[in-house]
Amino acid sequence: MDVFLYNGEISRKHDLEFVTTIADNKTSDHCMVILVTPGGDPDAAYKMARYLQHRYEGYSVLVSGLCKSAGTLFAIGATEVVFAPYGELGPLDIQLTKTDQLTGMESGLNISEAFSALEGRARDTFITTTLEIIGSSGGVVSFQTAAHSAAEVVGSIYGPVFARIDPEEVGSRARAMRIGEDYGKRLNLKWNNMKPGALDLLSQTYSSHAFVIDSLEAQSLFHRVRMANEAEMQVVMDLGVYARHPQRGLTLKKLDNIGDAQNEGEAHEEATEADDRHAEDRIQLNGLDLEAAVYAESLATSGDEIAARARSKERPGTAGR
């Protein structure tokens, strides 16, 4: 299995470098990407994930640290999502530039949340004002008159707020918010790892762009989620901070094959066990040789004793002659 590390922002200037690196280093039918990113461009994330779907029979995303926003979109296209204990994904709400500001980003959900809050406040104010007018008049004022008066109150309070809303800006932001969901649907068609309704949850319902989606939360979103095995965790530990926190710039490289490392480890264990068995056999053989030597020595000793006894019996007869 090919293993790659991607640490950095996902952007259109990096997607070509990613594609080139994969093309130059592909040696297997399966791939694992250790992805550490604060997020970035959804177009680039979609293009990178699509390329892996095209080149490999399956690819896994190892979430070893922060993997937010566009990183989550990249993970949607994978056959499985693998978590290290520190790993976390994030919601798919698109980050947009703040209006009339050169720097600073805000969630694309802010405009929809603002509309929902204004709508709720205006409705509650209308109902409350209507009931208060009817109640304070002792029922003399009709509902129609009270509702008309309440509408004027609501209009005077919330009219200036709604007048500041630019319909064109609202429309463009609404279209931008659909990009994560649209790309997610297309990426999920390949291996169908998303559970029903999970895309809506990721793109619309989480309360914060920084919301932590850990392995337990991910199990409610993905069909195939697991914790990293021992060999994968060893790679994460060897990478250190590069496997946990996004760094400045891009770190993109191919790592040692985890599958080869596992095979080498198993071969080493088998060789060690064979050596141990061989050593035990040598000990047993040495033990048998020792027993045979002792037995031979005992036979030799017994023979010497018999010969000595025979000689001692012959000596008296010889003296008589």
Tokens of 213: 């989606």
How far is the CA of 194 from the CAs of 18, 57, 188, 202, in angstroms? Answer: 24, 18, 7, 11
Q: What three-state secondary structure class fits 80?
A: strand
pTM over 0.85: no
pLDDT band at 16, cuts 50/70/90? very high
Please choose, from the candidates 11, 75, 1, the residue with its C-alpha nearest in 3D space to the C-alpha of residue 39. 11
The answer to whether 78 touches 56, Cβ cutoff 8 Å, is no
Strand partners, 194: 222
pLDDT of 169-210, one tens digit each? 666 666 667 888 899 999 999 999 999 999 999 988 888 888
Q: Where are the beta strands (DSSP E) in 193-245?
A: 225-227
Strands 2-7 and 251-255: antiparallel
Q: What three-state secondary structure class fits 61?
A: strand
* Burial annotation 238-260 (CB, 10 A radius, 16+ → b, else e): ebeebbbebeeebebebeebbee
Q: Would the CA dihedral through 194, 196, 198, 203 be positive or negative?
A: positive
Strand partners, 253: 5
pLDDT of 34-56, one tens digit each? 999 999 999 999 999 999 999 99
| Phi, psi (degrees; rounded to nearest 5) at 240 | 65, -130
pLDDT of 60-111, one tens digit each? 999 999 999 999 999 999 999 999 999 999 998 765 545 554 444 455 555 6
- pLDDT at 274 > cutoff 90: no
